[in-house]
């Protein structure tokens, strides 16, 4: 599909929002250099369905809004001159499985990777984590992460109710109904992984369960 004579699939505002969260991921210590990637689902008035995704191998401090790529759900680039992130097939597999997912944030943060390297599931010990990730985050055993099969297994392991999955010896994939919420999940899981790591060495931490948290009617979430 060519978009040369159509309206752009990705607005300038969306491109800038993605770049903002890329740089936030570095500021928050979730990524550095060219690590990690972000994508957001887009729909066109003409039935087009696809995603906007960050380019491959571009440092965030040198990345521009126009470097983002628009890709259809079959993986064809319809806007952009650079190569999409190498994990494009993995993002697409997650969007295919979960129609509720509108954005994906992949990070390579330290304590997620400490527990991932140990093969240890990230149980919720913090309120933010249980509210946004919604449950224990499973760990997928190490394998190279750029093919669609990996993506299908990653999406299957994450399932339909939890919003994150750890790739052992690599990093985290977090999803949300918006980019803001997917980013909150990535931040919450890393913070939780750090507290869990230390708490387990000091004693036996209390594990929270999403279904057992009584959220008062009308309460605003933190
Ligand atoms: Zn990665």
The pLDDT assigned to 32 comes to: 85
Kindly give the distance from the C-alpha atom of residue 114 to the centroid of ligand 1, in angstroms, as a whole number: 15
pLDDT category, 1, cuts 50, 70, 90? very low
Please state which of the ranges 4-13, 26-35, 175-184 shows the lowest mean pLDDT.
4-13
The 8-class DSSP code of residue 137 comes to B
Residues with Cβ within 8 Å of 163's Cβ and at least 6 positions away in sequence, in order, are 132, 133, 134, 174, 175, 176, 182, 185
Q: Which of 68, 64, 62, 59 lies closest to 8 in space, CA to CA?
A: 68
Mean pLDDT value across residues 72-97: 96
**Contact criterion met (CB below 8 Å) for 172 and 165:** yes
- State yes or no: is 190 an active-site residue: no
Q: Residues of the chain with pLDDT > 90: what percent?
A: 84
Distance in angstroms (rounded) separating the CA atoms of residues 89 and 32: 22
Asked if the model's pLDDT at residue 3 lies above 60, the reply is: no
| pLDDT value at 214 more than 90 | no
- Binned at pLDDT 50, 70 and 90, residue 174 comes out as very high
Please report which confidence band the pLDDT of residue 219 belongs to, taking 50, 70 and 90 as the band edges: confident
Q: 116-168 pLDDT, tens per residue?
A: 999 999 999 999 999 999 999 999 999 998 888 999 999 999 999 999 999 99
Compute the distance between CA of residue 81 and CA of residue 78 in angstroms, rounded to an integer: 9
Per the CATH hierarchy, to which homologous superfamily does domain 12-211 belong? Class II aldolase/adducin N-terminal domain (3.40.225.10)
Distance 188 CA to ligand 1 centre (A): 18
Nearest to 71 by CA among 1, 154, 17: 1
Q: Is residue 221 pLDDT above 90, yes or no?
A: no
The residue among 184 and 215 whose pLDDT is bigger is: 184
For 137, residues 6+ apart whose C-beta sits below 8 A from its C-beta are: 121, 122, 162, 164, 165, 166, 172, 189
Confidence (pLDDT) at 6: 62
170 CA → ligand 1 middle, Å:
6
Which helix (H) or strand (E) is 30 found in, with range?
none
Is residue 186's pLDDT more than 90? yes
11 touches 35 (CB < 8 A)? no
For residues 168 and 139, is the Cβ–Cβ distance under 8 A? yes
Strand-pairing partners, residue 137, are: 122
What is the rounded CA–CA span in Å between residue 165 and residue 43? 25
The residue annotated as part of the active site, out of 87, 108, 156, 190, is 87
């Amino acid at each position: 599909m060519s978009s040369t004579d159509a309206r752009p699939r990705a607005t300038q505002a969306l491109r800038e929002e993605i770049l903002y969260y890329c740089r936030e991921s570095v500021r928050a210590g979730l990524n550095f250099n060219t690590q990690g990637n972000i994508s957001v689902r887009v729909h066109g008035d003409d039935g087009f369905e696809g995603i906007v995704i960050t380019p491959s191998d571009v440092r965030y401090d040198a990345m521009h809004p126009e470097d983002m790529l628009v890709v259809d759900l079959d993986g064809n680039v319809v806007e952009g001159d650079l190569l999409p992130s190498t994990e494009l097939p993995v993002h697409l597999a997650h969007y295919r499985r979960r129609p509720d997912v509108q954005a994906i944030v992949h990070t390579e943060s330290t304590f997620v990777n400490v527990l991932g390297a140990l093969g240890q599931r990230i149980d919720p010990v913090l309120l933010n984590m249980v509210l946004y990730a919604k449950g224990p985050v499973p760990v997928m055993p190490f394998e190279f992460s750029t093919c669609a099969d990996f993506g299908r297994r990653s999406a299957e392991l994450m399932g339909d109710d939890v919003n994150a999955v750890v790739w052992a010896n690599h990093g985290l994939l977090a999803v949300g109904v918006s980019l803001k919420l997917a980013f909150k999940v990535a931040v919450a899981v890393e913070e939780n992984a750090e507290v869990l790591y230390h708490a387990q060495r000091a004693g036996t931490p209390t594990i929270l369960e999403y279904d057992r948290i009584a959220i008062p009617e009308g309460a605003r979430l933190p």
